[in-house]
Amino acid sequence: MKQMQYKLIVSDFDGTLRRSEGGVSQGSLEAVEKYVQAGGIFALCTGRMPFSILPYARQLGLKGLVAAFQGAVIDEVATGKRVRDGRMENADALRICRFLESNGWHIHVYDGDVLYINMDDEFRALYEKTCNVRGVLTPQKISQTVEEKNIRPHKIIVMVPAEERDEVFDKTVRELGEDFYVTSSTENLVEIVRKGCDKGGAVRFLADYYGVPLSQTIAIGDNYNDLPMLRAAGLGVAVENGEEVLKSEAKFVTRSCDEDGVAYVIRKFGLGENV
């Protein structure tokens, strides 16, 4: 058997590995299993909270690390032990929340596996159903809860209608982008984490942890928050259903998430099969 060219594959989850109707296909499960059995390392890197992504990592049979909150958190899959914990300061969280509140937006604050939500509306229902989590409803001024509980969150997000995402993103970048990393993972989300807690940092952390040169890594994604990891990896891959800016920067565009695009990359580049 020839030497494996890419020893580490890091994949986004929603819109990339996860099919649009939900779940991971049998084809993807089999491709990951075959790659790992051949000696490769497969990892997930997502904006989701650890509680929400760990069940999928375990379904895939992964034994190593999983990155959540854009890489602000990295946990061991088997034990849940935290090996990276990128929280923002309480004062920074208050500043962010007060700015978001001033615009009347739907806000989520993530403190580990605890999610605080300031509005009981259709966005809350959509998010909780998609991610299989249950949030804690706070007063409209979620900053009050952040202050009283001295919360140092891993991530804060805004949920907006798809047609408003770009406007909300631009406004948030103008106000907060100098001091925080502002990104988007879906058409309804604008996300804020500590500077340095992006997916590029997560890929570099994983590569260093496993002792794999970045030139031998692949990163696969679909949205703006995946740009840093595509730039960090030896081979940056976008799924066909991804944002145009991501596809324009990717070194390879694979099939869509509903056509097992990740499995195709594993077989073509990870295992070197003729597909």
Q: What percent of the chain has pLDDT over 90?
A: 96
* pLDDT beyond 90 at 230: yes
Q: Mean pLDDT score of the chain, rounded to an integer?
A: 96
What is the domain partition of the chain in residue ranges? Answer: 8-85+197-270, 90-194
Q: For the CA atoms of 209, 212, 214, 215, what is the dihedral angle to 10 degrees?
A: 180
pLDDT per residue as tens digits for the range 153-209: 999 999 999 999 999 999 999 999 999 999 999 999 999 999 999 999 999 999 999
Q: Copy the structure tokens of residue 237.
A: 């891959």
Q: At what angle do helices 90-102 and 165-176 cross, to 10 degrees?
A: 140
SS3 159: strand
Q: Tell me the C-alpha to C-alpha distance, in Å, between residue 122 and each of 119, 126, 161, 232.
A: 9, 6, 11, 36
Residue 1's pLDDT is 45
In which region does residue 15 sit, left (phi positive, over 0), alpha (psi from -120 to 50) or beta (all else)?
A: left
Q: What is the mean pLDDT of residues 228-240?
A: 98
pLDDT per residue as tens digits for the range 120-134: 999 999 999 999 999
The pair phi, psi for residue 21, each rounded to 5°, is -85, -5
The pair phi, psi for residue 210, each rounded to 5°, is -90, -5
Residue with the two structure tokens 């990359």: 265
> Which residue type sits at 147?
E
**DSSP symbol at 225:** G
Q: What is the mean pLDDT of residues 92-112?
A: 97
Residue 275's pLDDT is 87
Residue 186's pLDDT is 93
pTM value is: 0.94
pLDDT per residue as tens digits for the range 77-99: 999 999 999 999 999 999 999 99
Residue with the two structure tokens 């989850």: 13
Task: Say if strands 155-159 and 136-137 run parallel, antiparallel, or are unpaired.
Answer: unpaired
Residue 275 or residue 256, greater confidence: 256
Strands of 73-76's sheet in order across: 65-68, 73-76, 82-85
Of residues 222, 192, 46, the one with CA closest to residue 105: 192
What architecture does CATH give domain 90-194?
2-Layer Sandwich (3.30)
CB 222 within 8 A of CB 185: no
Residue 53's pLDDT is 96
* pLDDT beyond 50 at 255: yes
CA distance 91 to 97: 10
Residue 169's pLDDT is 97
SS3 140: coil
Q: Copy the structure tokens of residue 112.
A: 């580990």
Distance from first CA to last CA of the chain, Å, rounded?
17
Please return the burial class of 20, using the count of CB atoms within 10 Å of its CB with bins 0-12, 13-18 and 19+: exposed
Could you confirm whether domain 8-85+197-270 is CATH 3.40.50.1000?
yes
